[in-house]
Amino acid sequence: MLRREFLAVRARLTADDVRESAAALAGRALELPELAHARTVAAYVSVGSEPGTLALLDALRARGVRVLLPALLPDNDLDWGAYSGEDSLARVQHGGKMALFEPAGERLGPDAVTDADVVLLPGLAVDARGMRLGRGGGSYDRVLARLERAGARPALVVLLYDSEVVERVPEEPHDRPVHAVVTPSAVRRFRDA
């Protein structure tokens, strides 16, 4: 029910709202020291009314950062490919799910994410503890578990709208807190992550 509520609020955003928020979000995110020093960033391409990521992806590439983007596998796990600009993306329809923009080039394997200095995570909300509410498919839970098994310690940053930083979201035993949330107006860090 909580996921539906956040999605309903996003559905009311106009294209101008999403575009303006994307520019502000990119500006805020680019101020993060973690991104300033990153050589490899695992990110994603926003779809629909998600907080926009393309401006941020292009700015990272312009800095010489290697940007990895996910490709959804049939079991909901994620493979990864390199981003080299909007023309390197393919729109992929996954059954009854939403269409996603994925890297069209070579697949690097699910473990490629373990090379990332920063992982930018999608979400619907984050709470005061840094716990992230995702869409419920489990793809990023698998990514976080893979990072933990590999002993990788990238900065985990979720990109959201201002209204999606809330007091508390439901938590399951496998959930892990993020290090920071970036919204169009602020950055908030979480010490428990």
Q: For residue range 117-167, list pLDDT tens digits in order.
A: 999 999 999 999 999 998 878 899 999 999 999 999 999 999 999 999 999
pLDDT on residue 155: 97
136 is in an annotated binding site: yes
135 is in an annotated binding site: yes
Per-residue pLDDT band for 192 (boundaries 50, 70, 90) equals low
| 119 phi and psi angles, rounded to 5 deg | -120, 120
14: buried, middle or exposed (CB in 10 Å: 19+, 13-18, 0-12)?
exposed
Q: What is the CA radius of gyration of the chain?
A: 15
List the structure tokens of 178. Answer: 């993020």
Q: CA 3 to CA 190: how far, in whole Å? A: 22
pLDDT on residue 2: 82
Per-residue pLDDT band for 52 (boundaries 50, 70, 90) equals very high
Q: Is the pLDDT of residue 86 over 80?
A: yes
138 is in an annotated binding site: yes
134 is in an annotated binding site: yes
Domain assignments of the chain as residue spans, ordered by start: 2-189
Q: Is the pLDDT of residue 182 over 70?
A: yes
176 is in an annotated binding site: no
Helices (H) and strands (E) in the chain, counts: 5, 12
The answer to whether 133 and 121 are in contact (CB under 8 A) is no
Most distant CA pair in the chain, distance: 41
pLDDT on residue 193: 55
149 is in an annotated binding site: no
Task: List the alpha helices (DSSP H) in 90-179.
Answer: 139-150
List the structure tokens of 89. Answer: 């993306």
pLDDT on residue 191: 76
| 147 phi and psi angles, rounded to 5 deg | -60, -45
Select from 3.30.70.100, 2.60.40.2240, 3.90.380.10, 3.40.50.10420 the CATH code of 2-189.
3.40.50.10420
Per-residue pLDDT band for 33 (boundaries 50, 70, 90) equals very high
Q: Is the pLDDT of residue 173 over 90?
A: no
Q: Would you say how long the chain is, in residues?
A: 193
The answer to whether 169 and 126 are in contact (CB under 8 A) is yes
Per-residue pLDDT band for 89 (boundaries 50, 70, 90) equals very high
pLDDT on residue 1: 82
85 is in an annotated binding site: no
Predicted TM-score (pTM) of this structure: 0.93
123 is in an annotated binding site: no
13 is in an annotated binding site: no
140 is in an annotated binding site: yes
Q: CA 158 to CA 152: how far, in whole Å? A: 18
Handedness of CA 55, 58, 64, 107 (dihedral sign): positive
Q: How many CB atoms lie within 10 A of CB 106?
A: 9
10 is in an annotated binding site: no
Q: Mean pLDDT for the chain? A: 93
